[in-house]
Amino acid sequence: MTAPRYAWGARSLSRLQTCHPLLVTLFERVIARADLALDLSVLCGHRTNEEQAELYAKGRTAPGKVITHKRPGESKHNRQPSHAVDVAPYVGGSVSWAWPHYHAVAPVIRAEWAAMQAEGLVPAGVTLTWGGDWETLKDGPHWELSGLDDVPPPLAAARAGAR
């Protein structure tokens, strides 16, 4: 077995720790995979309502393009722990916004999610969605969990084997 090439930096790890245990476990496993072709950086886990308001204002009442349709309190990033995480490829010493890089890492993330499901770590009805698959306002870094509202948090954490 080939040793992992990458590890989370302190800032990425701190951001990841604000996420639901299933996301923490998933991305700890992803970064350790030998078949991960690109390094990754966690851009955002939990986001406050104030931070969400700033993002929502972009392209509306603040300069810039619209980057979210979610008002404060509506985003899965606004939950504690966060049900969403933004993870970007880290290429040549900086975050990449190039779609080919996201398309290169998405299958690895999906494969690890499938492995977790096969190992019984993911409660029935819980799904993982990539923002790159959305029809509008595609979001390459965004990964979110759905179906957790029906799973009691202690059970979800225990089943995820949170580390």
Whether residue 70 lies inside any domain: the answer is no
Whether residue 85 lies inside any domain: the answer is yes
Residue 150: what pLDDT?
Answer: 64
pLDDT digits 0-9 by tens, 25-52: 999 999 999 999 999 999 999 999 999 9
Instruction: Give this prediction's pTM.
Output: 0.88
CATH at residue 36? 3.30.1380
pLDDT digits 0-9 by tens, 118-149: 999 999 999 999 999 999 999 999 999 999 98
pLDDT digits 0-9 by tens, 67-119: 999 999 999 999 999 999 999 999 999 999 999 999 999 999 999 999 999 99
Whether residue 56 lies inside any domain: the answer is no
How many domains, in total, are found in the chain? 1
Q: Is 132 exposed, middle or buried (0-12, 13-18, 19+ CB in 10 A)?
A: middle
Q: Which stretches of the chain are DSSP H helices?
A: 10-16, 21-31, 49-57, 99-118, 153-160
